[in-house]
Amino acid sequence: MTEKNIIYRGAEAEICIDTYRDFKVIQKRRISKSYRIKHIDDRLISSRTKEEAKLIAEARKCGVAVPIIYDVDLKQGIITMEFLDGVRIKDVLNDLKEKERNNLCEKIGESIARFHNNDIIHGDITTSNMILYDDKVHFIDFGLGEKNSEIEAKGVDLHVLMEAIESTHSKYSNCFNYVLKGYKKVLKDDANQVIKKIQDIVKRGRYR
Amino acid sequence: MICLGIEGTAHSIGAGIVKDYNGKCKVLSNLIKIYRPDEGGIHPREAANHHASNIADLIKESVKKSHLDFSDIDLISFSKGPGLGPCLRTAATAARALSLTVDKPIIGVNHCVAHLEIGRGTLDDCVDPVLLYTSGANTQVIAFAEGRYRVFGETLDIGIGNCLDKFGRDIGLDFPCGPKIEKLASEGKNYLELPYSIKGMDIAFSGILTAAEQYYKQNKRLEDICYSIQETTFAALTEVTERAMAHTEKDEVLLGGGVASNKRLQDMVRMMASDRGARFFVPSKDLCIDNGAMIAWLGILMYNSGIRMTIKNSFIDQRFRTDMVDVTWRD
């Protein structure tokens, strides 16, 4: 290991560039938070690191583009993974031509359906957590994810993305319809049940 | 410009008068009366009756306390929503009557946006914050993006204050239960495992409430249960706020709403802010809770940006969401 270059400070983790053997890699290091008590801090850091590494590996098996994992350190909360030299969807989505944007969103929907088919819930599907690299949309940050077969969980998962698109890409909020279009195409179960669930979740919110 | 604002979304009825002072908000008076039910939660009709019998005196008192005459007031504003219908209608009726009597324009404002604007208006250097708005019914993480105050995260079930109040009622505390739970929690030592539920930047409390009620039935030490509720819910609130700050790339955080007066919540958000090199703001307690001054201040901002309302259009909106407001007073 060589010196670490922090390229991004997220809310719960630092993302550093490092080398592992001869590869340029990313280290995601979950940081201890001084505001929460040790019990909660330890529990969240170790369970999220473990769950994330597991889910990334499983997502890969279902054909979803994700970084390759090289190493996991549960005690320190570090995942060492492939460096994806691409761009965040958040940074490109607004600037794309309409047709490209809609195609990209359809692809995103297809990928989500692929991991949902295997009961993988991402937990934080936002356009900051998708990287366009090698012409594929890679999903990162499964830290809030879980394995869950319920329609409710899949609905909540998509609802997070819907809100992210509404808040960050408000001019193009119709994008979400294209995500659903791709999702319907690939989901094995009846996607309309999940879509109905999203509407239920919206109504459950305050003042809807 | 001087504006009198009337707040009446839930349990509180308030009348406040503020003055625009070089773009900052000067509070001249801010009077609040809180409806306290004998038992159970807020009964909307009872709360509205309480508001109706108090509002006239509050208005008179607030003018007197500001050392003003009714003729000095330039604008009347009221809480258009969101909130309980009967309460909103009572406050709006009072505002209409006052507007017609003193022959001054009326404007209806969004209650949640007012919580954010009062921070920006009264606190130096608070320019573009992420607001963690925590009250009985509301729990939202709000920030300005693309011309509106957007909700980046919010509760998926009940408000944090509601969660605390419901637990408080179960164990026999009077409303509002937050301060009593805070006191009990300060004597808690042992953390009892509670679910920690975050979905993206959204948050859920009902599971925590159920688990806490189970501990109570098992006769666990009350102080420890309260401590665990606070530590878990506030850690989750702080975490979603930090996520929103990272996501929006903003380096100011503002607290608002009744639960914002909880010292432990303040400490946690302050620590989070300082760890990420961000600035932390919290208005004084009377401006955190539901109050008329914040309604008055948002009225001034909207009026000065060219927004006008007629009596005919001064209806209320129980489901007036934060992100429905076109923010014409900011670039």
Q: Residues A201, A159: contact at Cβ < 8 Å?
A: yes
Return the percentage of chain A with pLDDT > 70, whole number. Answer: 97
Average pLDDT over residues B226-236: 98
| Of A91, A124, A141, A189, catalytic | A124
Partner A contacted by B246 (CB < 8 A): yes
Return the percentage of chain B with pLDDT > 90, whole number. Answer: 92
Contact B156 A204 (CB under 8 A): yes
Contact A12 B239 (CB under 8 A): yes
Partner A contacted by B207 (CB < 8 A): no
> What interhelical angle do B206-217 and B160-170 show, nearest 10?
20
Q: Find chain B residues with C-beta within 8 A of A144's C-beta.
A: 198-200
Split at pLDDT 50, 70, 90, the class of A1 is very low
Contact A35 B148 (CB under 8 A): no
pLDDT at A206: 65
The reported pTM is 0.88
Q: Residues B141, B130: contact at Cβ < 8 Å?
A: yes
In chain B, which residue's Cα lies nearest the Cα of A145? Answer: B199
Higher pLDDT, B2 or A167: B2
Q: Is B184 exposed, middle or buried (0-12, 13-18, 19+ CB in 10 A)?
A: buried
| Residue A85 annotated to the active site | no
pLDDT at A207: 66
Tens-place pLDDT, residues A104-137: 999 999 999 999 999 999 999 999 899 999 999 9
Q: Which domains does chain B have, with CATH numbers?
A: 2-116+287-324 (3.30.420.40), 125-282 (3.30.420.40)
Contact B267 A160 (CB under 8 A): no
Q: Find chain A residues with C-beta within 8 A of B152's C-beta.
A: 163, 167
pLDDT at B42: 87
Write out the H or E segment, with its range, that includes residue A138: strand A136-139
Q: Which domains does chain A have, with CATH numbers?
A: 5-82 (3.30.200.20), 87-204 (1.10.510.10)
Interface-testing mutation among B84, B190, B199, B227, with chain A (most A C-beta atoms within 10 A): B199
| ipTM tops 0.85 | yes
Write out the H or E segment, with its range, that includes residue A196: helix A191-204
Average pLDDT over residues B86-105: 98
Q: How many CA atoms lie within 13 A of B274 on its CB side?
A: 8
